[in-house]
């Protein structure tokens, strides 16, 4: 393999092959590859995930996809529980990734110099230690979500079994407007044993070992929390836009009876249109960022994970959005939220606040902006590690 022979460093990129995770990892890998042409990347994910992220066998220059086994037993049939394939994958993943990396090294003839991983793959920190190479992680959600996962023990110490969901998180700096109810599942409540919750629980131990953490956000957004993360970890780097624009394989077929997906509604572009007055969203981190860069206040109907935390942060800390009253789409709750945002003084203030944040977000990606400078630093660390 020509590219490998001439490369200065070989980076193994380890993907979490579920949901929207592999695409932002590939996007940041592409940016790194463009910025540092002497690096070569082996991108390891399951066959199914690689088929989506590298459609039609597309090879990206100096990024070579490799398949790892999905861990599913022979004859496995999906019965509708989304946790099941994740559980199988994670059980087999440490050994699978090791085996796959042996294949990568044998096929390319180039030893691995660094691991770049989805932060969900906590066990890969041990693989990096075994290989004696740096471990770098991509965090695809917001800084506040990372903060609660790396401070889980501290939060558990402060929330007793008799505390209510309304207990304020005032024992964490800049979290006093949030309460226990806004925490993601698995921190003090919910299904601790579910596979994703169990892996998030490991972040507290592994994140401090990262040589660098690349995060999909902007430096000025949630600045106080970003500064707390920076003071705790080496090279916590907000590198801006890293998201995915492709839908998972089979998504259109699976959802055809539930909704309509059209190719002419790219969310980011729609949110940039001056006619859009409000964005009704589930509160995924990318949607929050895209609403900010569109300057559009949000109405939230969160479902799981970090979405409740994002909702309350936008509503109570940043002040440019609202959660639906009762947390559900009822006629009353929806009309009330629309009225506040579209035709009240409070809504006007929200638009003013989000306009300020929009400007800061664009500033971050200007030449010499913070995301650009942070990305340069990431390239430098990777190239010299
Ligand atoms: O009609 C649509 C709908 C969505 N999108 C795009 O799809 C992405 C959706 O991303 P996000 O808002 O982050 O939602 P999820 O895909 O649900 O994100 C998962 O991953 C996020 C980052 O880790 C978490 O914050 C979420 O809770 C988790 O559900 C965005 O870039 C949208 O622009 C479109 O282009 N068109």
Tell whether ligand 1 has an atom less than 6 A from the beta carbon of residue 24. Answer: no
The verdict on 109 and 184 lying in the same domain is: yes
Which residue's CA lies nearest to atom 34 of ligand 1?
267
- Cα 210 to ligand 1 centroid, rounded to whole Å: 26
Residue 211: helix, strand or coil by DSSP? Answer: coil
Report the number of distinct structural domains present in the chain: 2
Tell whether ligand 1 has an atom less than 6 A from the beta carbon of residue 290. Answer: yes
Tokens of 326: 């009762």
Q: Is 294:279 a contact under the CB 8 Å cutoff?
A: yes
Who's near 338: CB < 8 A, 6+ residues apart?
278, 299
Tell whether ligand 1 has an atom less than 6 A from the beta carbon of residue 20. Answer: yes
Who's near 245: CB < 8 A, 6+ residues apart?
23, 266
The verdict on 2 and 146 lying in the same domain is: yes
Q: What are phi and psi of 191, to 5 degrees?
A: -90, 90
Looking at residue 247, its pLDDT comes to 65
Interface confidence (ipTM) of the complex = 0.98
pLDDT tens digits in sequence order for the chain, 385 residues long = 668 888 999 999 999 999 889 989 999 999 999 999 999 999 999 999 999 888 766 666 789 999 999 999 999 998 888 889 999 999 999 999 999 999 999 999 999 999 999 999 999 999 999 999 999 999 999 999 999 999 999 999 999 889 999 999 999 999 999 999 999 999 998 887 788 888 999 999 999 999 999 999 999 999 999 999 999 999 999 998 554 855 667 877 888 887 777 766 688 889 999 999 999 999 999 999 999 999 999 999 999 899 999 999 999 999 999 999 999 999 999 999 999 999 999 999 999 999 999 999 999 999 999 999 999 999 999 999 8
The verdict on 240 and 270 lying in the same domain is: no
Looking at residue 345, its pLDDT comes to 98
Q: Is 350:292 a contact under the CB 8 Å cutoff?
A: no
pTM: 0.91
The CATH number covering residue 220 comes to: 3.40.50.2000
Looking at residue 241, its pLDDT comes to 59
The verdict on 304 and 364 lying in the same domain is: yes
Give the count of beta carbons closer than 10 Å to the beta carbon of residue 85: 19
Provide the annotated active-site residues: 21, 118
Q: What are phi and psi of 244, to 5 degrees?
A: -85, 135
**What domain range includes position 73?**
1-245
Residue 250 lies in a domain: no
Which residue, 245, 279, 307, sits at the end of a domain?
245
The verdict on 85 and 209 lying in the same domain is: yes
Instruction: Give Dmax over CA atoms of the chain in angstroms.
Output: 65
């Amino acid at each position: 393999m020509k590219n490998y022979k001439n490369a200065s460093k070989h980076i193994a990129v380890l993907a979490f092959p579920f949901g929207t995770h592999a695409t932002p990892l590939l996007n940041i890998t592409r940016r790194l590859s463009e910025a540092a042409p002497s690096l070569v990347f082996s991108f390891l994910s399951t066959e199914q995930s690689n088929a989506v992220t590298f459609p039609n066998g597309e090879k990206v220059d100096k990024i070579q996809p490799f398949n790892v086994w999905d861990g599913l037993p022979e004859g496995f049939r999906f019965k509708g529980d989304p946790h099941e394939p994740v559980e199988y994958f994670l059980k087999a993943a440490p050994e699978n990734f090791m085996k796959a990396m042996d294949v990568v090294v044998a096929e390319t003839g180039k030893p691995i110099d660094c691991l770049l991983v989805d932060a969900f793959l906590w066990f890969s920190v041990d693989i990096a230690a075994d290989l004696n190479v740096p471990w770098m992680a991509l965090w695809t959600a917001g800084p506040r979500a990372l903060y609660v996962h790396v401070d889980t023990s501290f939060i558990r110490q402060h929330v007793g079994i008799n505390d209510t969901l309304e207990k304020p998180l005032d024992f964490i700096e800049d979290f006093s407007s949030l309460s226990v109810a806004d925490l993601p599942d698995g921190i003090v409540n919910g299904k601790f044993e579910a596979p994703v919750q169990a892996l998030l629980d490991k972040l507290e131990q592994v994140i401090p070992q990262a040589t660098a953490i690349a995060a999909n956000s902007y430096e000025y957004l949630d600045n106080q929390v970003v500064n707390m993360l920076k003071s705790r970890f080496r090279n916590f780097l907000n590198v801006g836009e890293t998201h995915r624009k492709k839908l998972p394989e089979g998504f259109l077929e699976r959802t055809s009876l539930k909704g309509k997906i059209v190719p002419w509604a790219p969310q980011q572009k729609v949110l940039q249109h001056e006619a859009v007055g409000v964005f009704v969203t589930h509160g995924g981190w990318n949607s929050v960022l895209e609403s900010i860069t569109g300057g559009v206040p949000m109405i939230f109907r969160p479902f799981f994970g970090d979405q409740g935390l994002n909702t309350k942060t936008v509503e109570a800390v940043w002040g440019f959005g609202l959660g639906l009253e009762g947390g559900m789409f009822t006629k009353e709750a929806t009309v009330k939220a629309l009225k506040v945002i579209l035709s009240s003084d409070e809504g006007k203030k929200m638009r003013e606040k989000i306009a300020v944040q929009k400007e800061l977000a664009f500033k971050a990606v200007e030449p010499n902006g913070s995301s650009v400078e942070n990305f340069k630093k990431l390239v430098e660390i990777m190239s010299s590690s």
